[in-house]
Amino acid sequence: MRSGFNPGTLGATRLTDVDPQVEVRQDATWSLRGRGPTLVAVGVYLLASVVGVVVGLLGEPSSDPAVENEFQELGGGTGWTSFVGMILVTVLGWAVLGTVLFRRLGRLRPWRVEIHNWIAILALGLALFHGLELMALGDFRGYLSGWAAVLLMFVLFVHGWWRSFWVRRYGLRTWRIVHWEVAVGALLFTTLHVVLIDEGLGHVRF
């Protein structure tokens, strides 16, 4: 995996990918990881958070605990979409699986990592909406495991978005190990969150 990867020859702002096809795209003069895209990503997080709180405050929990109203369904739906997004992000980020998945997609293939990044950004936005909407609605089940997963997703954003910085500092091998560890941690906390809520144990806060 290390072969063909040499940040030193690429200058301070550029970092090629493990997938040689991505090197071709990285030769282009534009990037989806500059200051503008960073502002878009942070904007997605802020907007999702604010809208989540507002929607939650506008709603009321259902009077019948056995029946969910549309505000609770929206909370559940965004949680599931975010979870599916995280699984997709893991598959796409994983060079081996992601490349196989994109093999037949020709022109889309060099975009694998960017698609991985932007689905991750949307998944975190949805998770923020989901958690804040449900808390504003007065539902505090499973919030510790939920926020632990959100925190790790944010760590993945900082770690992946500024990858060239971390790779120069600690090396590609360490970067990959850390990204994998944090990703698995985020997936484990999410799974725990879903299982606790599904089993009706979410009232234990965790």
| Residue 193 touches ligand HEM, criterion: CB under 6 A | yes
**140: which 2 tokens?**
């505090």
Distance in angstroms (rounded) separating the CA atoms of residues 7 and 171: 10
Q: Is 109 exposed, middle or buried (0-12, 13-18, 19+ CB in 10 A)?
A: middle
Residue placing its CB nearer to ligand HEM in the complex, 55 or 135 = 135
Residue placing its CB nearer to ligand HEM in the complex, 29 or 118 = 118
Stretch touching ligand HEM by CB under 6 A, among 6-14, 23-31, 56-64, 147-155: 147-155
| Residue 120 touches ligand HEM, criterion: CB under 6 A | yes
Distance in angstroms (rounded) separating the CA atoms of residues 85 and 82: 5
Question: Interhelix angle for 112-136 vs 95-102, to 10°?
Answer: 110
| Residue 80 touches ligand HEM, criterion: CB under 6 A | yes
Residues between 41 and 60 that touch ligand HEM (CB under 6 A):
none
Shortest separation between residue 156's beta carbon and ligand HEM, angstroms: 4
* Site for ligand HEM, rule CB under 6 A: 17-19, 68, 72, 75-76, 79-80, 82-83, 86, 89-90, 93-95, 113, 116-117, 120-121, 127, 130-131, 134-135, 139, 141-143, 146-147, 149-150, 153, 156-157, 160-161, 163, 176, 179-180, 183, 186-187, 190, 193-194, 197-198
